[in-house]
Structures are given as C-alpha cells and as structure tokens.
Chain A
Amino acid sequence: GAVVSQHPSRVICKSGTSVKIECRSLDFQATTMFWYRQFPKQSLMLMATSNEGSKATYEQGVEKDKFLINHASLTLSTLTVTSAHPEDSSFYICSATPPGQGNTIYFGEGSWLTVV
C-alpha cells in the first residue's frame, strides 16, 4: 500500500542551528503534503500546506521564515527549522494522499526534534 516516510525519526540539534526533516511519498506522487506539529502533551496542529512547484501555504501564527518548506519534486517535501530554539522541540509529522484516493490520508512516522 501507499507509504509516506519521514527522515530522520529523531534528531537532536544545538540551539541556533538548522535542521531539515524530509517527507517522502514512496510509491505515489503527491502534489500536496501537509506538515503538522505536536508539542509535548498537546494535540497536533497544522503548520503548513506544501505545494509541489510553488510556495507553501502557512497557517496563522506559523513563521514562514523560520519553518522553510520546499516541495521540489512530486515525492519529496522538506521542512527546515532554521535557527532552532528549545521551544521548537516538538514532534513533526507529515501527511499525503495518493491521487484519486479522495480522503485516504497517509501519515509519515513522524520526526522528534529536540533542540538543546
């Protein structure tokens, strides 16, 4: 079946550095992918919609210059957390839907980011 994969699953980075998280659709092409984040003991919140070949659409309150999203191909979207701070420590997860599968939503495994 369709699979969405994220890498890395866990990453620790130093405050002030940048870290990139990848979201891949392994056996289908995804023109749109969604990025969510989940702070500890909280729910998942949509951050942005990643659009292949065009700019991402960010939800209110999400800094587009801090969370850079690049959807350069039909199978890969990347989320780069720039100048990371401890408050960016969170669980980041992406989702995608294969063409023609309507409301079938596949999530990646998620990426745990810890900024120290």
Chain B
Amino acid sequence: AQSVTQLDSQVPVFEEAPVELRCNYSSSVSVYLFWYVQYPNQGLQLLLKYLSGSTLVKGINGFEAEFNKSQTSFHLRKPSVHISDTAEYFCAVSGAGYGNKLVFGAGTILRVKS
C-alpha cells in the first residue's frame, strides 16, 4: 500500500519569502511522485513530477522539489513566493504496478501575505 503525509495543513508566508511544503511518502514499490496545485474553486494543475533520474525536479511557476529516497520525502520549494501562489498544494504518489492511480496527501494551504 502507498500513503502520503503532508506535514503542514497550512503555511503562512510573506510575499517574496522562501517556502517549503513538506511531503513524506510510504510505498513498498518504486515510486512516482507528483505535486499539484489547486486554486480556489478550480481543478488540479500539475506543478512537477519525479519519475526517475535527477532527484531535483524543476516545475512550473518557479517551484522545484527534491526526491530523497532515504528520507522518503519529496518536499516542494520556491525561493520567493508571490501573492498569486496562494492556493492548496497536494503531494501525490503512484508506483510500479499501480497504473496511474494516485494517492493524494491531505493538502497544504499556502497563504502568501503582503
């Protein structure tokens, strides 16, 4: 079975400050990891994904994430956030043998303040 834990339900941060949203996973098979963003009353948008290869993954809107197998983590980072980054962020995992079924974390609400 697979599971995802997002350690923070809400993260408040000031505009232009750096941010890290934490994600830990559990899986018995090789994993594929994803970060999605959901703006209020909208659907899901893929920020980035890790399938294999380089552990540092760069995504859209200046976000990046690092896959750490030993710590089973896939934390999302951005060096300088904008008001427009205010949204809910979901970490998700899939894996070998699971097709493209995703298990989502509970989500982290990022609130960027001016």
Residues of A within 8 A of B (CB): 32, 34, 36, 42-46, 49, 93, 95, 97, 102-103, 105, 107-110, 112
Contacts and interface: CB of A to CB of B under 8 A. Distances in A.
Interface stretch (B15-23, B67-75, B78-86, B94-102): B94-102
B25 interface: no
A107 B43 contact: yes
Contacts of B43: 93, 107-110
Of the candidates B32, B41, B43, B46, the one having the most CB atoms from chain A within 10 angstroms of its own CB is B43
Interface string B94-114: 100001111111110000000
A34 B107 contact: no
Interface residues of B, number: 20
Contacts of B100: 32, 34, 95, 97, 103, 105
Contact of B32 (A42, A93, A103, A108): A103
Given A102-B51, A103-B94, A46 B103 contact: yes
For the residues of B in contact with A, the DSSP-based class is loop
B90 A105 contact: no
Contacts of B34: 105
A42 B38 CA distance: 12
A110 B49 contact: no
A44 B46 CA distance: 14
Contacts of A102: 51
A13 B103 CA distance: 29
7 contacts: A43-B105, A43-B106, A44-B102, A97-B100, A103-B100, A105-B94, A112-B41
Nearest to B91: A43
B102 A103 contact: no
B51 A103 contact: yes
Contact of A107 (B44, B49, B106): B44
A97 B46 CA distance: 14
A102 B95 CA distance: 11
A54 to B, nearest CB: 15
A26 to B, nearest CB: 15
Given A34-B100, A105-B100, A110-B44, A42 B51 contact: no
Contacts of A105: 34, 46, 94, 100, 102
